[in-house]
């Protein structure tokens, strides 16, 4: 039983979750399935044309302070981005099309660091190219592949799947059909997967 980690590159609370999920899961012998999706279409269905953290300013002010505390406690560098939310569409097409590649987690973490620690604009191809290189990849072929119609369609299908399976925000974790929402639920989701593993018959 794996934990599915559903993330969106513009999502603030996805940052500390993305940086920690692989280590936390490994500590408990749980595999991580990386599942990128887009919040934009989901938020539009809820009547928002912007991040709820911008739509509701009190919530936004709180979130930035809370995120600062969370990153501080986790030892993660954090710098509030000048642009929020950033456009993570191109990054998401890459992360969706190459979801099963062994280098994918390194790329995802590099994009989050660019957005939330380094003040970079993750909609810029050169920034994504640098992230791919940090993950040991040659960028041009991957950027090209991720811009093709089938990669775009794959991300749309993934976002549809997120809605169908009950997701409404990011980060989210799925263990089978059991849904956990928010960076705060990372440990609980991993533990749920660990217990599901332990409860399986001995044919493992």
Q: Which stretch binds a copy of itself (CB under 8 A): 97-105, 139-147, 153-161, 163-171?
A: 163-171
Per-residue interface string for the shown chain with a copy of itself, residues 89-108, x marking contact by CB under 8 A: --------------------
Q: Which is nearer to a copy of itself, 35 or 120 (CB)?
A: 35
DSSP structure string for 160-181: HHHHHTT--SSSEEEETTEEEE
* 155 close to 36: Cβ distance less than 8 angstroms: yes
Residue 179 in contact with a copy of itself, rule: CB under 8 A: yes
Distance of alpha carbon 152 from alpha carbon 157, whole angstroms: 9
Residue 64 in contact with a copy of itself, rule: CB under 8 A: no
Which pair of tokens denotes residue 41? 């279409």
- Residues 6 or more apart from 63 whose CB is under 8 A from it? 12, 13, 53
Name which position in 80, 166, 176, 195 contacts a copy of itself (CB under 8 A): 166
Phi, psi of 173 (to 5 degrees): -125, 140
Residue 186 in contact with a copy of itself, rule: CB under 8 A: no
Residue 187 in contact with a copy of itself, rule: CB under 8 A: no
Residues that bind a copy of itself (CB under 8 A): 46, 56, 58-59, 61-62, 65-66, 69, 163, 166-169, 179-182, 184, 188
């Amino acid at each position: 039983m794996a934990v599915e980690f559903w993330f969106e590159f513009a999502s603030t609370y996805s940052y500390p979750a993305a940086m920690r999920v692989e280590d936390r899961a490994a500590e408990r012998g749980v595999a991580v399935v990386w599942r990128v999706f887009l919040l934009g279409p989901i938020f539009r269905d809820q009547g928002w044309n912007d991040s709820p953290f911008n739509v509701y300013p009190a919530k936004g002010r709180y979130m930035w302070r809370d995120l600062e505390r969370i990153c501080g406690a986790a030892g993660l560098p954090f710098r509030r981005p000048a642009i929020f939310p950033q456009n993570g569409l191109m990054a998401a097409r890459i992360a969706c099309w190459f979801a099963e590649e062994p280098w994918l987690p390194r790329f995802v973490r590099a994009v989050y660091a660019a957005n939330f620690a380094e003040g970079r604009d993750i909609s810029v191809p050169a920034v994504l190219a640098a992230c791919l290189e940090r993950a040991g990849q040659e960028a041009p072929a991957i950027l090209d592949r991720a811009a093709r119609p089938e990669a775009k369609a794959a991300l749309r299908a993934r976002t549809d799947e997120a809605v169908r399976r009950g997701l409404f925000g990011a980060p989210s974790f799925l263990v089978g059909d059991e849904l956990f929402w928010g960076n705060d639920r990372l440990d609980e989701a991993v533990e749920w997967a660990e217990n599901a593993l332990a409860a399986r018959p001995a044919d493992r």
